[in-house]
Structure 1
Amino acid sequence: MQRSLSSLQHDLVPITINVGEDFKSIVWKAQYDMDFNTECLFCFSEQITGYRVEDEEGHSGKVAVCPHCEKVNAIYA
């Protein structure tokens, strides 16, 4: 499953992140945003964490990541 991170941010060129992809391999900069009380899709831990992410070129978006398995669970606005 793929979704453009900037689909909700119309002024930016999109960066693409795959749900299920390893978080560290796709992010250049990440800043904590919020916690979600929902189960991880991959390892079923009880909470996932939201981050604002930005690539080398300044394209940004928000992803929800499991702190245990470090997989991207969702893209949000």
Structure 2
Amino acid sequence: MRRALLHEAPTILISVGEDFKSIVWKAQYDMDFNTECLFCFSERITGYRVEDELGRSGKVAVCPHCEKVNAIYA
């Protein structure tokens, strides 16, 4: 009998409200969200696929105006 091993990819540790440090994380554009920023009420937020130096990855929605993380999404 064979068993399938499921490995979960390690996720990046970023918090909502944190300043987005694009220098620290490798960031690649993902999509635009048509919603207001939670912090400065800018009209749009932008989604990025990010990865840190340890290879952990995730997706975050960032305000291009105040550069704060508004959401973490899948």
The interval holding the TM-score normalised by the smaller chain is 0.7 to 0.9
Deviation of 1:70 after TM superposition, in Å, equals: 0.1
Question: Match for 1:21: what amino acid?
Answer: E
Report the identity percentage: 87
RMSD: 1.7
Q: Deviations over 1:25-67 (max 9, x none)?
A: 7842000000000000000000000000000011100000000
Q: Which protein is richer in helix relative to its size?
A: 1
1:4 matched to which residue of 2?
A: none
User: Which residue of the other structure, out of 44, 54, 57, is the alignment partner of 1:57?
Assistant: 54
Q: Counterparts of 1:60-75 in structure 2 under 5 Å?
A: 60-75=57-72
- Aligned with 1:43 (options 15, 18, 40): 40
Q: Which consecutive residues of structure 2, in runs of 5 or more, have no partner in the other structure?
A: 1-6
Count of residues paired in the alignment: 68
Partner of 2:9: 12
Taking a change above 3 Å as real, the CA distance of residues 26 and 15 of structure 1, as seen in their structure-2 partners, is: farther
- Radius of gyration: which is bigger? 2
Could you tell me which residue of structure 2 aligns to residue 24 of structure 1? 21
Of Structure 1 and Structure 2, the greater strand share is in: 1
Where structure 1 has 5 or more consecutive residues not aligned to the other structure, the ranges are 1-9
Runs of 4+ in 1 over 3 A off after TM superposition: none
